[in-house]
Structure 1
């Protein structure tokens, strides 16, 4: 008696079962988790770290900005390499760079060492961000990718929720240096899983050419701009010779970069991509998303600790509403896009939520009802979740298969660049606001110090050192003043985000509403090669026919005409 055969598992558009897709993605997801965890685990402990290392607000900003800057600069390099050589090997290399730099940061004796290691960390993070999107395009069609983009959003949300909580517990318990080692076992596991489960078809061999001059010029332009934004108004005047030299140098480096990219055979950022309206508008929208994502994670953590007196662990718990919004929006919208195939309404809703959240965060004070602050954070997180990954999806859907790597990394590059510039500008605005506000409260601070008795001189020397204060440890009189000052400064810094969020909405509104294809990038590439082969064969047949028509016999008769006459129905045999 024959047994009934079990039904075959359903195949995705790529011809793989869902289990096979999930196995292939498992290493990518774990690699992204490592990247996010290593970054977020120190977010709530950064005020403590900078205080212990004797750093000021500028050092705090640069610990974050250094990572974002190198992530932005390295992302298009990784994307270009992804179009040229083995993507699996590149992904493993990115994990290795990231983890080694993260572990080295744990030994930081001062803020300079920490900033340097965070910069190297950003090189690996750029590779993980760019390559995960490119590899996903190889094995999943855009129509189905929404579901799996939701998984990436869930992993990011898990790392963003768990990281600050774990980091806060570690900092309050055994010390902040252990935050930098927590990602190591996950990194080893990611390398093993990627090796065992990720199987990509070999790429067509191409000659590798890296635009080294473009890398140098781009690094110079962005670095000069960020250093100027960070130091202007403190180390030198906004209107000064130093400003002229730094801003002029940044402009000249940017112009030289554009010239080099236009003439390069393998440009770092192909400017021809901007001929695509989809790519250009997605880049504009991604800048606001980057500022919102990185700016909120940095300055909301400061708000919780410096304006509400929270410990690192409490700060991690208090930022959960924003991550909840990101998680719900990214997973839910990803499922809806895969089910119905429509993406534009969700992107518009996300940009509106981004505007609302950022605008409402400009109203927070040190004593604002936390339920309201939670609502504002949730709206901001939902806006990020609905726009961040789906902007990459929209670009991948309309990009030529051979340029998918550089297009994906291009959007990620401008998102990271927007984040790095945004964090630098918000940090500079915060430092300036705090200085001005503390100057206006000088009498109140003097009175609060006078009420401390023997402790007054100790606290006065700490405040004059210029290092980032530990507000939660201050006496009541001083703590209220500093909480109020930092709350006002942080809320004012969020004004910078609002106009970028509005531009994001306008850009998304004008995005061409192109339906999502059901073909993977590999299938699109094979289809285009097949079309090219068909055209080549057809052109070859035409050439043979033309040759036959005009070739002649020795007696002067046309062979082609003779052959056609012999094969006609009425011809004699």
Structure 2
């Protein structure tokens, strides 16, 4: 009988999006973020170190264990394959479980794989241990991006991505150097290359336990194990094919058709499984977003170029130039320096400007150019030319790697951060795994051919050497070869590695072309999407629409800007610190309430005509705010505060700073009418009580002669309205207080009345002061009454149902009564003495 109809704008009470550095918590200060990142960066250092520290030791490792070029490639590929296959799984688990527990688990897996790898006695055992290491490293690399995204808004993430890039650079340059020194140290040996990362991993475990504090998502989960199985099988079959094609069997052979067909079939099964899974490993809906699709494709091609540089440089410097493992690491410093500089500088500039596409495009040009230059080197090329080429390539990689992840994270809700981040990392690792396998096969084929040609030029003595002492394609020992043959081997490896770089250049060019089509969306200053509780309603309006979403109209209820750090959270920034500073013309003013008083901590947001959110801030305690616009033009200025109605207005920004004060009206209201359900007559004097979700009573009142009631100053949200009146049954109704005035029509039903007379004795005289009790069908006492001088009693406001009426004064007498509805029901009671 009660209806609730909004009389004003209802969007004002929608769930607001809030910036949170911890998925719904208070924004974190720089110090808090750095403390939390300390263990994370140390874990990332361990992950990168595991792959780079063995790069310069691999020639000696494979030679010591009796392996060939195929084993050399698979020691690298096995770790990449495991990392590739498990990266989406780690990312998905991060959306479901404790991120802190997951990153610690990944570290433990890495430690186990490293310890056993150091004890390996053959290449098969080593490759198996590298798989275990790869699983742990996959978790570390995926979770590092996910945890950063959970703590830091996309706009600020560029700054901290620079720290991640610096860590990457230090581990990448320090790993080969450390590995080279360990390998060249007689009392250590190459096995300590696997043990070296263990202490760092254990320290990272302890640091993470102390510093990383993120909320744990608790909900029922279903891990997509079938998806993980099929994607791993498809990638593995593809890698096995490219590893042995051209060596064990021709490129065009039945084995090729069988393996490629099987990989495609497994890939299709994976897509079917993902489309039906309730919690898919890789949510296919993410690829409806053009930015995510193109960034994933670009990452695939970048992976080929990145791993080509890190894997094959060690063979070039040691086998083409005869350098020691230590010097091999030293000579790769130009590439790492370029990566360090570009990743750090690009992160800082992106944080300041919010623009990232120019860095991606420039990075694609530099990577392509660097690989093209490296494709011209030979074993006797001047080192300065190689150093310049490596530096150019490193600069390009630093501009592309982290920023591809960053632009993807900028496009998804917080609940999909793990999956989206791991998708880009997955394709980068996939490109690296396939690239290393394919390029390793190319290198083995080219080196064999160049060695044969070179030895043939030496005459009968050279031809008799077969593969120059390489054992049919094994890793040669240059010191054991005669000078002419050594020159042939060095020339073959110099030319072969150059071919590898030359074949990698087209993939970098494809990455560059793909980045041209990625639409730039300025980085948001707030984490996008759901609140911390996954079961809560989604935000009213996302900060930045996806490429397929329409522009946000000004009438849509805006997302609320983030609250300033509270003293409890350890924040040090003032409440009015703008979250986004776009570097254009300023819009400033004061937010005031309906009485003219300043409104502190009001959220002020600027929306562009394209529906983007270039800036927002939290007003200072005196109500003042400042926003920096990206440039001149029309914008929608939105302000909101707790207990006040949000306001939106259009402002036109020119070349001069714009002053615009904002007036917020009072909060929402509730009014209505109380009537009788039977005839619709107004009920005067009805008591109306409003109770909020915390049990507090923000308003009470009585209905007027026309049955009307009205309340103002109510905060938006759910309430319970209870109405009671004499002669009527009380009624409780839920209501949702909106952005305007909510109207509530209340119809009260009249209660039934039971009345009668208690009589006693033979004459049936009325009995005064007799006690009468009314009991319902469940045995509960509904009411009690004492009879008057006339023996009468009455019970009012009764619901329909069966009752028992008990009267005492003489021996008790109980009688049953059925109340069928409103009106008066008579029930007389006769009491007698016990002996009658």
Q: What is the TM-score normalised by the length of structure 2?
A: 0.61
Q: Which has the higher helix share?
A: 1
Q: Which residue of 1 aligns with 2:351?
A: 338
Secondary structure of 1:176's aligned partner: coil
Shift of 1:468: 1.1
Give the equivalent residue in structure 2 for 1:315: 328
Q: Is the 8 A contact 1:303 1:486 kept in 2?
A: yes
Per-residue deviation, residues 179-202 of structure 1 (Å, max 9, x unmatched): 111111111110000000111123
What are the residue-to-residue correspondences of 1:400-549 with 2, within 5 Å? 400-444=413-457, 462-520=469-527, 529=537, 531=539
How far off is 1:241 after superposition?
A: 2.3
Alignment partners' CA distance in 2, 1:564 and 1:374: 92
Instruction: Name 1:172's counterpart in structure 2.
Output: 184
Tell me which structure has the larger Cα radius of gyration: 2
* Secondary structure at 1:89 match in 2: helix
Partner of 2:206: 192
Contact 2:415 2:529 in 1 (8 A): no
Instruction: Tell me, in whole angstroms, the C-alpha distance in 2 between the residues paired with 1:89 and 1:508.
Output: 35
SS in structure 2 opposite 1:15?
coil
Compute the displacement of 1:524 (Å).
6.2
Map of 1:95 onto structure 2: 107
Alignment partners' CA distance in 1, 2:470 and 2:459: 11
Deviations 1:40-67 (A, max 9, x none): 1111010111111111111111110111
Asked if structure 2 preserves the Cα contact closer than 8 Å seen for 1:61 and 1:423, the reply is yes
Q: Distance in 2 between matches of 1:387 and 1:416?
A: 14
> Do the aligned residues in 2 keep the contact of 1:434 with 1:489 (CA within 8 Å)?
yes
Question: Higher relative contact order at CA 8 Å, sep ≥6: structure 1 or structure 2?
Answer: 1
Q: 1:470, CA displacement in angstroms?
A: 2.4
1:120 partnered with 2:132: yes
Instruction: Classify 1:73/1:12 alpha carbon distance in 2 versus 1 (closer, same or farther; 3 Å).
Output: closer
Residue correspondence of structure 1 range 37-186 to structure 2 within 5 A: 37-174=49-186, 175-186=189-200
Q: 1:553 aligns with which of 670, 674, 677?
A: 677
What is the CA-CA distance between 1:489 and the residue it aligns to?
1.2
What is the aligned counterpart of 1:228 among 235, 241, 256?
241
Instruction: Report the Cα distance in structure 1 between the residues aligned to 2:410 and 2:321, rounded to whole angstroms.
Output: 45
Query: What's 1:261 paired with?
Result: 274
Tell me the equivalent position of 2:407: 394
| Gap change, CA 1:566 and 1:269, over 3 Å in 2 | same
Q: Deviations over 1:121-159 (max 9, x none)?
A: 110011001111111111111111111111111111111
Whole-angstrom distance in 1 between the partners of 2:419 and 2:48: 22
Mapped partners of 2:341, 2:705: distance in 1: 70
CA contact under 8 A between 1:47 and 1:470: conserved in structure 2?
no
* 1:218-263 Cα distance to aligned partner (Å, 9 max, x none): 1111111110111112112222222222122111111111111111
Q: CA deviation at 1:447?
A: 5.2
Q: CA deviation digits over 1:483-517, x for unaligned, max 9?
A: 11111111111233222212211221221211111
User: Is the partner of 2:27 in helix, strand or coil?
Assistant: coil
Give SS of 1:61's match.
helix
Deviation at 1:381, TM superposition (A): 0.8
Cα distance in 2 for residues equivalent to 1:369 and 1:84 = 53
1:7 maps to none
What secondary structure, in the 3-state scheme, does the structure 2 residue paired with 1:514 have? coil
Shift of 1:563: 8.8
Deviation at 1:290, TM superposition (A): 1.2
The runs of 5 or more residues in structure 1 that have no matched partner are 1-10, 451-455, 536-544
User: Could you list the per-position Cα deviations for residues 369-425 of structure 1 after superposition, in whole angstroms to 9, with x for gaps in the alignment?
Assistant: 110110110111111111101111111111011111100011000110011001111
Q: Does 1:216 align with 2:225?
A: no
Change over 3 Å in CA distance of 1:15–1:479 after alignment to 2: same
Q: TM-score, normalised by structure 1?
A: 0.89
CA–CA distance in structure 2, aligned partners of residues 181 and 109 of structure 1: 15
How far, CA to CA, are the matches of 1:423 and 1:568 in structure 2?
Answer: 76
Deviation larger for 209-218 or 459-468? 459-468
Unaligned runs of 5+ in 2: 1-19, 542-556, 559-669, 684-702, 711-836
Quote the offset at 1:525 in angstroms: 5.2
SS at match of 1:464: coil
Indicate if the aligned counterparts of 1:138 and 1:521 stay in contact, CA closer than 8 A.
Answer: no
- Kept after mapping to 2: 8 A contact 1:73/1:219: yes
- Structure 2 vs 1, CA of residues 564 and 120 (structure 1 numbering), >3 Å: closer, same or farther? farther
The 8 Å contact of residues 95 and 191 in structure 1, kept in 2 or not, is answered as yes
RMSD: 2.9
The one of 234, 245, 263 equivalent to 2:258 is 245
- TM-fit CA distance, 1:445: 5.1
Flag the structure with higher strand content.
2
**How many angstroms does 1:31 deviate by?**
0.3
Matched, 1:385 2:398: yes
Do the aligned partners of residues 472 and 461 (structure 1) sit closer, same or farther apart at CA in structure 2, a change above 3 Å counting? closer
